[in-house]
């Protein structure tokens, strides 16, 4: 009985596959059309800052890399002496940015944060563990970068983690 029922079900499935017309395949969406979002260029790359009291270092988020010249930098990290926390500010290589409460964002969330709460000229973001920053770079092609502060050590020491997406045109 079971063998007969199984062969009947198999026959019906084969009939449905043969009798059902096959639809033409849909076009594969491009990165700009994809509902998944922009292409990730790097994910959770570690950046380590180790400078002295009252010193600064420039960060390039297109690669990512610490210790670059001011002309290509997307972020500026300023350490303070004493109890004052270090600060991050946008540098000449960035177009816009936004401070966000944490690093639990995707590209769409970063773009929304920049659109609805941009950092003004000269605005500083306090370097504290768990804080995050979204930055839109001026590179060609432009990149959208989520920078998370993962650790804060002694004066001038911090650990950052960056994730980058290509910005759709």
What's the N-to-C CA distance of the chain in angstroms? 62
Strands (E), 33-107: 40-50, 56-60, 65-66, 75-78, 87-90, 94-100
In this structure, the strands spanning 143-152 and 132-137 are antiparallel
Which pLDDT score, from 0 to 100, does residue 3 have? 43
Predicted model pTM: 0.77
Give dist(CA 151, CA 163) in Å, integer. 16
Tens place of pLDDT per residue across the chain (169 aa): 444 444 444 444 334 433 433 333 333 223 333 456 789 999 999 999 999 999 999 999 999 999 999 999 999 999 988 888 899 999 999 999 999 999 999 999 999 999 999 999 889 999 999 999 999 999 999 999 999 999 998 888 999 999 999 997 6
Q: Determine contact, residues 166/61, Cβ cutoff 8 Å.
A: no
């Amino acid at each position: 009985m079971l063998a007969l029922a199984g062969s009947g079900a198999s026959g019906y499935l084969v009939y449905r596959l043969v009798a059902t017309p096959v639809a033409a395949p849909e076009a594969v969406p491009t990165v700009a059309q994809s509902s998944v979002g922009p292409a990730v260029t790097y994910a959770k790359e570690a950046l380590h800052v180790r400078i002295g009291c009252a010193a600064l270092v420039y960060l390039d988020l297109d690669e990512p890399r610490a210790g670059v010249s001011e002309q290509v930098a997307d972020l500026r990290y300023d350490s303070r002496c004493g109890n004052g926390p270090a600060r991050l500010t946008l540098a000449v290589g960035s177009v816009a940015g936004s401070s966000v409460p944490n690093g639990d964002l995707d590209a769409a969330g970063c773009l929304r944060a920049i659109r609805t709460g941009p950092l003004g000229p000269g605005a500083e973001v306090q370097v504290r563990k768990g804080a995050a920053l979204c930055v839109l770079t001026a590179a060609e092609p432009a990149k959208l970068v989520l920078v998370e502060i993962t650790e804060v050590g002694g004066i001038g020491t911090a650990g950052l983690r960056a994730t980058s997406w290509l910005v759709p045109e």
